[in-house]
């Protein structure tokens, strides 16, 4: 009991010293977060790359589709399996950019396959995507920013809003219209969404921030 109590006292002293000096304590430096950088093969320079993979998800017209987006590794492992399409299964497909009516260089991404990178960030305790922001709020640090993307409204499959990097990469050999999970830019629609500050038909950006 005395040893444990001494350790607690030392920990409290360290935390107090951290508050007084502004230097992080060992408890702070041990915190870390993991996030996915969508549309890129690499992580920002301040983060460690866990894996560089393929963006995947459900087919864009499947009514029973899973809504979440996956970052699939380039080196998959297998358990028990049986090859071929057999029986009642869920499916996972690759993903493509759908940017044929966008402006500038982003138009060139159309039908290209979407990469992803899983990133490990030390000395952080939380990470969050902020829609309609290119910069982070006070006290937050920018991991990356880009464009908010999601599925097309008339398609059957449910999707999630995803922050695609501002300067997206593509996968080698992936420029073909094979569909799968599709990413479209997101526009603001006025009404219950207040305009201003939002603008009818304007594409939304996004920022992924940590603290």
- Residue 48 in any domain: the answer is yes
pLDDT for 110: 86
- Residue 131 in any domain: the answer is no
Closest CA to 95 of 207, 171, 43, 187: 171
- Residue 81 in any domain: the answer is no
**Which residue segment(s) compose the domain that 96 sits in?**
30-76+88-124+147-189
Number of domains within the chain: 1
- Whether residue 46 contacts residue 111, with contact meaning beta carbons closer than 8 Å, is answered with no
- Residue 134 in any domain: the answer is no
Q: Which residues contact 146 (CB under 8 A, 6 or more apart)?
A: 38, 39, 163, 164, 165, 166, 167, 168, 205, 206
pLDDT for 180: 82
pLDDT for 43: 97
d(Cα 55, Cα 69) in Å, to the nearest integer? 7
- Residue 109 in any domain: the answer is yes
pLDDT for 125: 93
Predicted TM-score of the model (pTM): 0.79
Tens of pLDDT, residue by residue, the chain (211 residues): 444 454 455 554 554 454 445 555 444 457 899 999 999 999 999 999 999 999 999 989 988 888 999 999 999 988 888 788 777 888 899 999 998 877 677 788 888 999 999 999 999 999 999 999 999 999 999 999 999 999 998 899 889 999 999 999 988 776 677 778 898 999 999 999 999 999 999 999 999 999 9
d(Cα 202, Cα 186) in Å, to the nearest integer? 8
- Residue 23 in any domain: the answer is no
Grouping H, G, I as helix, E, B as strand and the rest as coil, residue 74 is: coil
- Residue 202 in any domain: the answer is no
d(Cα 159, Cα 53) in Å, to the nearest integer? 20
- Residue 54 in any domain: the answer is yes
Q: Tokens 């951290």 — which residue?
A: 18
d(Cα 125, Cα 123) in Å, to the nearest integer? 7
Closest CA to 47 of 35, 38, 31: 35
């Amino acid at each position: 009991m005395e040893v444990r109590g001494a350790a607690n006292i030392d920990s409290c002293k360290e935390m107090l010293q951290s508050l007084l000096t502004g230097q992080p304590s060992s408890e702070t430096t041990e915190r870390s977060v993991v996030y996915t950088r969508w549309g890129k093969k690499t992580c920002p320079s301040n983060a460690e790359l866990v894996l560089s993979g393929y963006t995947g998800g459900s087919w864009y017209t499947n009514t029973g589709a899973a809504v979440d987006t996956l970052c699939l590794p380039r080196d998959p492992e297998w358990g028990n399996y049986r090859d071929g399409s057999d029986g009642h299964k869920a499916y996972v497909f690759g993903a493509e950019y759908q940017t044929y009516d966008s402006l500038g260089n982003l138009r060139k991404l159309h039908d290209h396959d979407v990469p992803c990178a899983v990133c490990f960030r030390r000395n952080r305790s939380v990470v969050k995507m902020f829609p309609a922001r290119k910069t982070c709020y006070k006290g937050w640090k920018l991991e990356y920013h880009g464009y908010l993307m999601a599925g097309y409204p008339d398609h059957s499959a449910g999707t999630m809003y995803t922050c695609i990097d501002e300067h997206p990469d593509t996968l080698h050999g992936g420029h073909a219209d094979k569909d799968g999970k599709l990413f479209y830019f997101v526009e603001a629609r006025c009404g219950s969404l207040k305009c201003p500050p939002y603008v009818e038909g304007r594409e939304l950006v996004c920022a992924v921030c940590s603290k």
